[in-house]
Amino acid sequence: MTSLETMERAAVTGNAVTTEGLTRRFGRVIALNGVNFTVPTGAVLGLLGPNGSGKTTLLSILAGFITPTEGSFSLLGERSHRLALARTGALISRPLLWPHLSCRDNLRAVQGLLTGRTDQEEVERLLGLVGLAGPAAERKFGQCSTGMRQRLGIAAALLGDPELLLLDEPTNGLDPEGMFEVRELIRQLGQAPGRSIIMSSHLLNEVERTCDYYAIIHRGRLVAQGRIGDALADSATATSEPAPTDAPATRIATTDNPAARRHLQARGWALSAPAAGAGGDSTAPLDSDDTALTVATAPGEAWKLARDLAEIGVFPTTMYPAARRPAHRSAPAGTLEATYLAAVGPPPEN
């Protein structure tokens, strides 16, 4: 079934995006499984899920890069996928541009391919918008940092002033300052009347700060969706036992524990064995357990661990007070993290 045929089967709605039973198989692997998904017109939606959950597959179908195995979808109320894509901009995975061309010339080339136009004013405006004006515009793409490449990819997605923007991990490869700048850029883009944005991410706090809607995909299924404000209120109400705030240490597992250990020590954090309340001695030497790290933290300072680890592109997967280990993954009430963990369920037993 072609994308055009799939679009023609979909019911036209007032939503920017509507999917019905969207499924995609790759051999025996089911990447998407019956996803019913909606994005209201004018919304900025954060698409959350673990690596391999199906986020990129969903965005790739919407962007026309692959076709679904089953189900239907509609973009911008159009029955024709071709017409809808003319009003859509996308950055899926990493931008693939010409390494020997400058940022400016790459954007000119993409503009010509996508629109058949030559509009130097638009090119310069977009370079400035994503922070690539001046000397940066003359740097060859092959010599750009990962962050600069991501910015240029976003600029390319904005050519033609699209009504729907599909961004797959737009902060990937950015340092904390760059992540802040891109977050503010997405907020600004989302304020345009009628523009809708889907931004996939595994960074919960980035979505919480940037988006007004969320959707969570887990193992190819849509497990939760709604307004972020509602999710924060619901998670705060549902949690009756607050996390202790006086724990002498924090237990943290990350996406790269050895790198996290080295970086935290370099930043002056004290890594130790679990506190006595967890069955260990808080004055013992460096924790030798590579499944997680125990870091001495003052009350209310555990969040600084995530901040410092973001400098090297390492992120927490689990974090809790070392004074007592929870029976399941937990998160502070009133956060998107609490909603996310409730949706995806507890971790598998070891």
Residues 6+ apart with CB under 8 A from 221: 33, 34, 35, 54
- Tell me which of 20-24, 167-171, 248-252 is least confident: 248-252
Strand stretches in 60-103, DSSP E: 70-75, 88-91
The predicted model gives 27-42 an average pLDDT of: 92
111 or 301: whose pLDDT is higher? 111
**119-130: average pLDDT:** 94
What the chain holds in terms of domains, given with CATH numbers, is 3-87+162-236 (3.40.50.300), 243-325 (no CATH)
Distance CA 130, CA 126 (A): 6
How many whole angstroms separate alpha carbon 50 and alpha carbon 315? 12
- Average pLDDT rounded to a whole number, residues 266-271: 86
Contacts (Cβ under 8 Å, ≥6 apart) of 19: 10, 35, 36, 37, 38, 58, 71, 72, 73, 74
Per-residue pLDDT tens over the stretch 129-142: 888 999 999 999 99
Beta bridge partners of 167: 91, 199
d(CA 313, CA 183): 16
The model carries a pTM of 0.68
**Total number of residues shown for the chain:** 350
Task: Give the DSSP letter string of 221-260.
Answer: EEEEEEEHHHHHHHHHHH--SPPPS--SEEEEEES-HHHH
DSSP code of residue 329: -
